[in-house]
Structure formats: C-alpha cells, structure tokens
C-alpha cells in the first residue's frame, strides 16, 4: 500500500460503490421467512383481541347499526360503532391542506360513503370467531344517490359532504389558457382516462398494539405494515391526542407498500383506542378482499390533453386538464394532481403550457399514493399527446420527440410549470434506447408484416420521461453512525425499506468511507425508539436523502475519529490518516503504528463507542429521467395483445448497487406494463366494486411478462454529494405510456388514433372495428 | 379434532377447530410463519407448501384433510446449513425484494423443478403462473429458477 501524502485524510482503496453486492437481507427471507406484522410472536401480544371490521355494502347511504345480537356472543370482547368514538375528534387528515370538513370519522357516523367503509369493529378472543360475529351485526341502509363518476361529482348535484358545500376538495392551476394555441398550424386534442388501479402489495395491511404502564405514564407500542414509521407514530399520537413520545412505533418487515402504505390508515388507528379501552393487546390483519376495498387505489384521473405546433414537428403549446377522482375521503390522491401539474411538460421544451386540475370526492374508495403518485399520470398524458401530434403530422414519433427535448446543455432549468430540473440528457437516453431496441429494424419488420397482410401486427411504442424524486420540497433525512467498542458499526437510518435493500446499499456507503468491512456493519431502521427521526421510504427519496445522510455521517465519523486518534497518538487531528484497507488510523508518515476503529471508538466511550448523529438536507428535489421502447404483437382478428419486449434507459445518476437498482427497475417496469395492458379497478354505476379480489383484478403473473432489457446511463445530480437520484418509481413512469403507445401504434395504419388503458383485447378489437367503419 | 401430520420431518398431533386451514395450522399452531397468506381466493400462491412432495396452496387445504400426510415449508427446505439449490438461486439472482411472496415462490419453484428439472424460461414463467410477486417483475425470479435448474451453466 502506497503511503499517504501528509495532508490526505485517508489512503486510497478500491471503492465498493457501484459493485454487485448481494443483499445482506436475503438469508433470512430465504430460510425462515421475514417477520411481518402477522408473524409477530412478541409475548406482550399474548392474549390479544382480534379485530374484525363490519364494512359497508352500499356506496352511499344513511346507516343505522344494531350490535345487540353480536355483543352477547361468548368470546366477543366488544363491538363498537361511531358512537363509541364520540369523545374523540376525527383523526386529522393525512395532509394539512385537505379541508377539515372532509375528514373521515373513526367509523362511519350515520352515513357511509363507499363500499368497504368500516361501520363497526368487533373484538373477539379468536380470529375465526370475528367473521362469524360480523354476520350478527345488523346494519339498516337507507340509500342515497351514489356519485361514482367524477364528472357527476364535479357538478355538485349530490353532495357527499353537505358542510363543505361542494364535492371539490382541491384545485391547482399553472399557466394561462389565453391564446394558447393561436399560432399553431396543428392542434390535436384527446380525452384520456388514466384508470384507477390497485397497489396490491403482497402483504395486506396489518396491525398489532399494546399499552404498558398506567395513567399519564401509559405508553403505546404499535406495530404496523408501513413505509413511514415516524410519520405513523405522529399520526397515531395526533389521533389519540398524545405527545409523540408516548407512542413507540415499530415497522417490522413490510411486504411491499408501493406508496399505499405511507402512514397508517383508519383501521390501524382504531386498534390503539380499542386496546386502551379494553386493556388488552389488539391485532388486526385484513383479508385481500378488504385490502382491495379499503386500502385505497391509485391514479384515477380523467385528462384532456391538447397539443399544438408546426407541421414540421415543433411543439409550441400544450394544455392538460385533470379531473382527479379522490374517492370518498380525500387522502394523498387529492393532492397528487399538484405533482401531475409540476411534471406536465415532461422532457419537452414547450413555449406555452397551461394546466388545470380539480380533485373531487366520489362514493368510491379513497385514492392514495401509488408508485409514481401523480407523475405517471403526467407522463402518460404528454407521451400520448406527443404520439397523437406525430400521427397527425405524419412524422415518426421518435423523431418528433428528438426535435422537442430539452437540450443537454440547457440544465439547470426551470420549466414553464415551475419544475427546477437539476440535470439530464434526454436525447442521449432516447438515442441509447432506440439503438438498444434496434428501432429501425423494428420499423422495417412492422412494415413487412403490414405489407404482407400478416394478422399478427407489430407495435412499437416510445416514451421519454422525467420525474421528480424526494420532492416537491427540498428534503432532509437523519442518520446515526455508531462505531461500537469492538469496531463493528451500526447505522441507523430514518428511511424505512420494505424490499429496497437499504441494509445492503447503506452499509456499502458506510463501508466505503469508514474502511470497515460490510459484514461488520448493521443497518437498523423502522423503530422510533431506536431512530430519532425519519421521513420513511416513499417518493423515491431514500438513497438521495437517507443514503446521503449515511455518507455524510460516515465522513463526520471519520473526522471525529481523527480527533480521537490524534489524542491517542498525541498528534494533531490534521496529521491523522485513515487507512481504509486496514480499518485503522495512523500518523501521516508512520503507517506501521495503526490504532484500529475498536480502540478509537472505545476512547470515545468505553460502553457506547463513537456515536455521530447527522441530518442531510438537500437544496432541492432531483429529476431522474429515461426513455423506454415497448414492442407488442397485436392480433388484428382478436385484439389480443402480447408484450414482446421492453427496453429501457433509466438514469438516476450513479448507481451504488446495480443488483438493487436493476430490481427496482424490473419491478417498476412490470407495474407500468400492468397498468397499460391489464389492471383496472372498476365500479358499477351504483358504486359496487367489480374487482374485489385477485381473481377479478388482472394482476399479471410471470406468464404475461417478458424479460426486460436494461440499458445503463448515469447523469449525476448536482444536489447531493453522491450525485444520486431516486429509482423506485422510474420504471413505472416510463413503461405505461411506452406500452400504450405501442398498442395504438400496432393498429395506427388501420385508422386508430387512441385506445384507453388497460388495452384489453375487447378494447383493441372495438377500436379496430370503429376505425374500419 | 386431532390432526396428525409430519411437518419438515417432525410428527405433530394438533387439536384444531374442524374448519382450520392448513396454513393456519402451520402458522398459528406450529409457529411456522414463513408461509404467508396473501389473498383469499387461492390466487397469489404466497401460502404454497409441499404436501407429500407436491406444491399446494395451503390456504385452500383443510388441515383435517391432510391427516397422515407430510408437509414441507420453507423452514424445512435447507439440509441443515446447506441450502436447497432453489434458495441459492434466489440469492444469487436477487429473486426477491420485500420477501413476502418468497416462501411460496421458492416452494413452487422446488415443485416445478421436481417435475421438469431443465425447464426453458417460458416453462418457468408458465409453471409459476399461480404465484404472484409485486416487487420483482418476475425477471430475476425466472433467472433464479433457471440458475437452480439442472444443466444450468452455473452448476
């Protein structure tokens, strides 16, 4: 090892960053399985009451509830309704700017507003008994007009909340509509449904809780399947009107969230009250049917896009109108049109842009965050619009994109709708994905099939996307680095992974700066008593905030350790060098006398070791981007669509662990494809859900999907020292419009210009029939 | 009623309610919580276990109906410290993220390879059709099963 120069703070080693480190999480999952909420066997939960909810079977009705028959059954500990919560105000809405008049009650209070809304909670000694007793709760329904279509809701003919005086929860707008398209040679407009879909994490919602102590000292320990333990703790404390320190929140292993498990839901909160009242621990695990009815859904926007420009392919004006279905009680979904607005122009340099959005309540399940949360809707709209524009002027859609992308040297830039893009190379992404997919050969094959009358048509879809991660406001995240007296390291993070591999990636970040081997580093998260603060995992925020905090904390730990080592060596801290290869410190020029991490940490505190707390604060959100090419085969005779291939460039800056990042891309792509081809949550006109389980809801299996071809590209962000952006949602955002565009492209020569998602065989077949009339 | 069955090589006699499902017997009576429940329509496969060597969805099997039979769950798959090659394949190919579908997916893959030791990628996709995953997009699951298959380049 070469000796360090006098002023260097460490000697050089080969970085572990960017290498394919297999996940440290996996051995447990592959041998004994994870420990999810329903798997908890904590002795404090012995004797827990099991909670079962009685849920509304009508979308909108006045209800009268009679629990007498259920209450008297042996083994029933309690049956509660809204009346039993009269002493507590409704829990605060999950976001501050949701009008308080639209807050949801603990349990339906005289009126139900969606099928699946909890009306009563039953507590039983055994889990199986709960379902039996639920049948004995008598609910008398007096039907009210169900408002299912958001266009009807916007008309306010029937109000869901009379006190609010309107069905509109929120509205946002940007840009002026005046004369927007006046100088355009070509203007195309299209109504687009970005359909309601279900998040479907494989683990449903689940909760367990117990109170310990008495009176003002009583403290609640609460386990739930969440993405945001600290946020959930604060939600529970606010709902129970307690200071946050009286709630100890623990997120055990979480079996997927996809945005829908950000925070906790009303069904979780009820358990804290029941447990306090009955003096017993409580447990609840929903069924999949309950999950499909009640966890909340994603997307659910009705859009109108209008795009205008010149005949030679220059886009000069764009407008997007969004009617957001928020469901019965406004949640994240009501606010997400703000994100749609912010990302409305996508990757394109368009001179004039206007966006109008309105979020309305309907008698359907609340709309929540779902992978991408507002951004996939923006991308789907503009990417369909660009294809419609290209079709209108008869230019290749990839070429139209190329003529309108923000140039590589334009960054940093602020778009017409106020998004401050940090870095990008959109044309580079497009060129790379077209080359990898062999775009020209695909077009030739498409022509060959069309010319030969082959009924198996080929469709090629392109999308360019940019999204916003760890936004919209500049974010912050906490990390603690604790070097133990034995030289091992514990990293505490305020993020809360549930499949994203932070235990591996964050350990790599710490190892890289500390020179401590990976197997001596443990990453802890998800427990509000162990981790001081945190923002959880969502919005693709974790690496660029939480990872950056670990990186920053590790650097600060090295600085502190050099001071401590200076004391040990009786030398100035500035003369102390960290030899990462040997995991210890020495005086510059004297590499033989090394004091290891154990000795240095012990000198800080013989019991606790060296502890450094840090908060990383970003100056802004980052903007990952990419380009996707989807290839489909469409049977012109049946409308059946088969996805042949997905080729994607997803640029989120430098990659810490390719294994993890590829996994995030794969999963995101699959969910994006699923929205384009298969999935839709449907309600009938009376608000009865038509997709309440995994037989009715078209969740794809391995058999419906191909392998994915990933093309790497890494454009650093200037907004954090690692240069990283978020990758969790990218695949979902790029894939949906690429696939939808591919399906339309396959049949475009027959005169079809648009097909709504999901592009089912029936829809494709009908579109072909309509066009041939 | 009493049900006697062998789970992961150990014989148990368990007193259960008549309507008890096999998955609840495993989880709630024997404390074997690797096997998960992801739906109520036998669609997702998270509860897949081996019953006398063949994969079944344990959420749709009455405990009473397996009296005298032998069940293998994920916890019983490894031979001591030596992992089954399907476990190794999932680790090597990052065939899991949140881990919830993993126990069922692994057991389904074990059963698939028992029937067809050298499947094509398409056969793996068809063979795992009854097991859903929301995290991986299946790309690495397919790679993991192919990795574990006989004749794979890696072995």
The reply to whether residue A701 touches residue B128, judged by beta carbons under 8 angstroms, is yes
Residue B43 inside a domain? The answer is yes
Chain-wide mean pLDDT for chain A? 96
In angstroms, the first-to-last Cα distance of chain A is 78
Residue B110 inside a domain? The answer is yes
Interface check for B62 against chain A (CB to CB < 8 A): the answer is: no
Query: Which has the minimum average pLDDT: A3-17, A87-101, A209-223?
Result: A3-17
Contact A689, A681 (CB under 8 A): yes
The reply to whether residue A29 touches residue B96, judged by beta carbons under 8 angstroms, is yes
Q: If you search the block for the tokens 């591996």, which residue do you land on?
A: A504
Whether the pLDDT of residue B154 is over 80: the answer is no
Q: What is the pLDDT of residues A316-351, one digit of tens each?
A: 999 999 999 999 999 999 999 999 999 999 999 999
**Is the ipTM reported for this complex over the cut 0.90?**
yes
Contacts of B34 in chain A (CB under 8 A): 32-33
Contact A618, A470 (CB under 8 A): yes
Interface check for B97 against chain A (CB to CB < 8 A): the answer is: yes
Residue B70 inside a domain? The answer is yes
Contacts of A35 in chain B (CB under 8 A): 33
Name the residue among B31, B91, B136 with its Cβ closest to that of A30.
B91
Return d(Cα A742, Cα A765) in angstroms, integer: 15
Name the residue among B38, B90, B124 with its Cβ closest to that of A202.
B38
Return d(Cα A297, Cα A291) in angstroms, integer: 10
- pLDDT given for residue A459 in this prediction: 98
The CATH code of the domain that includes B101 is: 1.10.150.120
Pair (B60, B111) in one structural domain = no
Helix axes A502-514, A548-569, angle to 10 degrees: 30
Return d(Cα A300, Cα A377) in angstroms, integer: 9
What domains lie within chain A, and their CATH numbers?
A: 26-34+475-617 (3.30.365.10), 38-144+200-294 (3.90.1170.50), 298-471+621-771 (3.30.365.10)
Whether the pLDDT of residue A468 is over 60: the answer is yes
Name the residue among B35, B43, B128 with its Cβ closest to that of A694.
B43
Whether the pLDDT of residue A665 is over 70: the answer is yes
> What number is the average pLDDT over the span A211-217?
93
Q: What is the pLDDT of residues B62-119, one digit of tens each?
A: 999 999 999 999 999 999 999 999 999 999 999 999 999 999 999 999 999 999 999 9
Return d(Cα A106, Cα A108) in angstroms, integer: 7
Name the residue among B98, B106, B131 with its Cβ closest to that of A30.
B106
Pair (B12, B47) in one structural domain = yes
- pLDDT given for residue A7 in this prediction: 41
Pair (B52, B13) in one structural domain = yes
Please tell me which residue of chain A has the smallest CA distance to B130.
A701
Pair (B67, B97) in one structural domain = no
Q: What is the pLDDT of residues B116-149, one digit of tens each?
A: 999 999 999 999 999 999 999 999 999 999 999 9
Residue B155 inside a domain? The answer is no
Residue B44 inside a domain? The answer is yes
Pair (B72, B7) in one structural domain = yes
B152 — pLDDT class (breaks 50, 70, 90) = low
Write down the H helix ranges in A570-611: 597-604
* Number of separate domains in chain B: 2
The reply to whether residue B121 touches residue A35, judged by beta carbons under 8 angstroms, is no
The reply to whether residue A255 touches residue B99, judged by beta carbons under 8 angstroms, is yes
Return d(Cα A416, Cα A479) in angstroms, integer: 36
> What number is the average pLDDT over the span A379-407?
98
- pLDDT given for residue A95 in this prediction: 84
Q: Give the distance, in angstroms, between the CA of residue A676 and the centroid of all CA atoms in the same chain.
A: 18
Pair (B57, B106) in one structural domain = no
Pair (B70, B98) in one structural domain = no
What is the domain extent for residue B125?
Answer: 85-148
Contacts of B144 in chain A (CB under 8 A): none
Question: Which residues share a beta bridge with A632?
Answer: A459, A643
> What number is the average pLDDT over the span A607-612?
98
The conformation of residue A34, written as its DSSP 8-state character, comes to: -
Pair (B70, B106) in one structural domain = no
Pair (B71, B7) in one structural domain = yes
- pLDDT given for residue A13 in this prediction: 65
A2 — pLDDT class (breaks 50, 70, 90) = very low
The reply to whether residue B87 touches residue A662, judged by beta carbons under 8 angstroms, is no
Whether the pLDDT of residue A531 is over 90: the answer is yes
For residue B69, the distance in angstroms to the closest alpha carbon of chain A comes to 22
Question: Which residues share a beta bridge with A535?
Answer: none
Interface check for B142 against chain A (CB to CB < 8 A): the answer is: yes
- pLDDT given for residue B16 in this prediction: 96
- pLDDT given for residue A14 in this prediction: 81
Pair (B33, B91) in one structural domain = no
Whether the pLDDT of residue A414 is over 70: the answer is yes
Interface check for B69 against chain A (CB to CB < 8 A): the answer is: no
- pLDDT given for residue A5 in this prediction: 38
Pair (B63, B123) in one structural domain = no
> What number is the average pLDDT over the span A695-716?
98
Q: What is the pLDDT of residues A535-564, one digit of tens each?
A: 999 999 999 999 999 999 999 999 999 999
Residue B153 inside a domain? The answer is no
- pLDDT given for residue A4 in this prediction: 38
**Domain boundary, last residue among B25, B52, B76:** B76
- pLDDT given for residue A773 in this prediction: 85
The CATH code of the domain that includes B45 is: 3.10.20.30
Q: How many other C-beta atoms are found inside a 10 Å radius of the C-beta of residue A389?
A: 24
Return d(Cα A107, Cα A746) in angstroms, integer: 49
Residue B92 inside a domain? The answer is yes
- Residue % of chain A over a pLDDT of 90: 96
Which pair of tokens denotes residue A350? 């368009």
DSSP secondary structure, A41-65, as one string: --GGGTTPEEEEEEE-SSSSEEEEE
- Residue % of chain A over a pLDDT of 70: 98
Burial class of B36 by CB neighbour count within 10 A (0 to 12, 13 to 18, 19+): buried
Q: What is the pLDDT of residues A132-153, one digit of tens each?
A: 999 999 999 999 999 999 999 9
Pair (B44, B91) in one structural domain = no
**Domain boundary, last residue among B24, B46, B76:** B76
**Domain boundary, last residue among B42, B76, B110:** B76
Which pair of tokens denotes residue A118? 């909890």
Whether the pLDDT of residue B28 is over 50: the answer is yes
Residue B154 inside a domain? The answer is no
């Amino acid at each position: 090892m070469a000796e360090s120069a006098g002023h260097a703070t460490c000697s050089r080693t080969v970085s572990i960053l960017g290498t394919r480190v297999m996940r440290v999480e996996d051995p447990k999952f592959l041998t004994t399985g994870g420990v999810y909420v329903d798997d908890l066997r904590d002795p404090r939960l012995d004797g827990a009451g099991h909670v079962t909810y009685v849920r509304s079977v009508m979308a909108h009705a006045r209800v009268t509830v009679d629990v007498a028959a259920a209450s008297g059954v042996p083994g029933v500990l309690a049956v509660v309704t809204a009346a039993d919560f009269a002493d507590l105000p409704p829990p605060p809405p999950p976001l501050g700017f949701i009008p308080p008049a639209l807050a949801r009650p603990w349990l339906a209070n005289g009126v139900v507003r969606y099928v699946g809304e909890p009306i009563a909670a039953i507590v039983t000694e055994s889990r199986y008994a709960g379902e039996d007793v639920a049948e004995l709760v008598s609910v008398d329904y007096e039907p009210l007009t169900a408002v299912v279509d958001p266009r009807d809701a916007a008309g306010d003919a029937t109000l869901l909340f009379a006190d609010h005086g309107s069905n509109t929860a929120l509205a946002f707008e940007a840009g002026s509509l005046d004369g927007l398209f006046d100088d355009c040679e070509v203007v195309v407009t299209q109504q687009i449904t970005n359909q309601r879909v279900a998040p479907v994490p494989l683990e449903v919602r689940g909760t367990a809780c117990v109170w310990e102590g008495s009176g003002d000292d009583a403290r609640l320990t609460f386990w739930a399947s969440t993405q945001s333990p600290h946020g959930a703790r604060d939600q529970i404390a606010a709902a129970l009107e307690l200071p946050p320190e009286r709630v100890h929140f623990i997120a055990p292993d979480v079996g997927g969230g996809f945005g829908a498990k950000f925070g906790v839901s009303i069904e979780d909160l009820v358990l804290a009250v029941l447990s306090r009242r009955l003096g017993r621990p409580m447990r609840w695990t929903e069924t999949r049917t309950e999950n499909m009815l009640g966890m909340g859904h994603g997307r659910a926007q009705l859009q109108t896009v209008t795009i205008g420009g010149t005949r030679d392919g220059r886009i000069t004006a764009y407008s997007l109108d969004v009617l957001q279905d928020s469901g019965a009680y406004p949640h994240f979904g009501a606010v997400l049109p703000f994100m749609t607005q912010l990302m409305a122009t996508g990757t394109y340099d368009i001179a004039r842009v206007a966006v109008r959005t309105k979020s309305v309540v309907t008698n359907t399940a609340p709309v929540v965050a779902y992978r991408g949360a507002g951004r996939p809707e923006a991308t789907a709209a503009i990417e369909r619009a660009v294809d419609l524009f290209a079709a209108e002027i008869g230019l290749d859609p990839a070429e139209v994109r190329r003529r309108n992308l923000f140039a590589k040297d334009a960054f940093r830039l602020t778009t017409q709708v106020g998004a401050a893009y940090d870095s990008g190379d959109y044309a580079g992404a497009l060129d790379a994905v077209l080359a990898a997919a062999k775009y020209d050969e695909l077009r030739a094959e498409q022509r060959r099939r069309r010319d030969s009358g082959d009924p198996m048509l080929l469709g090629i879809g392109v999308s360019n996307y940019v999204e916003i991660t760890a936004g919209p406001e500049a974010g912050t995240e906490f990390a603690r680095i604790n070097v133990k007296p034995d030289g091992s390291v514990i990293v505490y993070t305020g993020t809360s992974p549930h499949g994203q591999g932070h235990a591996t990636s964050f350990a790599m970040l710490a190892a890289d700066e500390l020179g401590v081997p990976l197997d001596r580093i443990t990453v802890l998260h998800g427990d509000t008593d162990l981790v001081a603060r945190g923002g959880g995992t969502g919005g693709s925020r974790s690496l660029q905030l939480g990872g950056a905090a670990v990186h920053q904390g590790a650097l600060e730990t090295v600085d502190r350790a050099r001071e401590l080592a200076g004391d040990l060596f009786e030398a100035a801290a500035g003369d102390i060098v960290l030899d990462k290869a040997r995991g210890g410190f020495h005086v510059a020029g004297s590499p033989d006398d090394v004091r290891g991490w154990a000795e240095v940490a012990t000198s800080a505190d013989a019991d606790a070791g060296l502890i450094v707390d840090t908060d990383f604060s970003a100056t802004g959100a980052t903007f990952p981007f990419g380009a996707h090419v989807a290839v489909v085969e469409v049977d012109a005779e049946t409308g059946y669509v088969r996805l042949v291939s997905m080729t994607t460039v997803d640029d989120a800056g430098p990659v810490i662990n390719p294994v993890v990042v590829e996994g995030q891309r794969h999963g995101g792509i699959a969910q994006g494809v699923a929205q384009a081809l298969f999935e839709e949550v449907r309600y009938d006109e009376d608000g009865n859900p038509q997709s309440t389980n995994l037989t009715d809801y078209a969740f794809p299996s391995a058999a419906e999907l191909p392998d994915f071809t990933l093309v790497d590209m890494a454009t650093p962000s200037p907004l954090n020292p690692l240069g990283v952006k978020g990758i969790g949602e990218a695949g979902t955002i790029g894939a949906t419009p690429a696939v939808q565009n591919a399906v339309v492209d396959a049949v475009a020569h027959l005169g079809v210009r648009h097909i709504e998602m999901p592009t089912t065989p029936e829809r494709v077949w009908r579109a072909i029939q309509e066009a041939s009339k | 009623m009493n049900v006697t069955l062998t789970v992961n090589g150990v014989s148990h006699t368990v007193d259960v309610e008549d309507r008890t499902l096999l998955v609840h017997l495993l989880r709630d009576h024997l404390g074997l919580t690797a096997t998960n429940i992801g739906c109520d329509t036998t669609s997702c496969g998270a509860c897949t276990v081996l019953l006398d060597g063949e994969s079944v969805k344990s959420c749709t099997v009455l405990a009473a109906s397996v009296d005298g039979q032998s069940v293998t769950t994920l916890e019983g798959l490894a031979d001591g410290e030596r992992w089954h090659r399907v476990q190794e394949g999932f680790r090597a190919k990052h065939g899991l993220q949140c881990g919830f579908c993993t126990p069922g997916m692994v057991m389904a893959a074990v059963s698939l390879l028992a029937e067809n030791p050298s499947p094509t990628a398409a056969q793996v996709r068809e063979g795992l059709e009854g097991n859903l995953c929301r995290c991986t997009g299946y790309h690495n699951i397919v790679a993991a099963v192919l990795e574990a298959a006989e004749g794979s380049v890696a072995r």
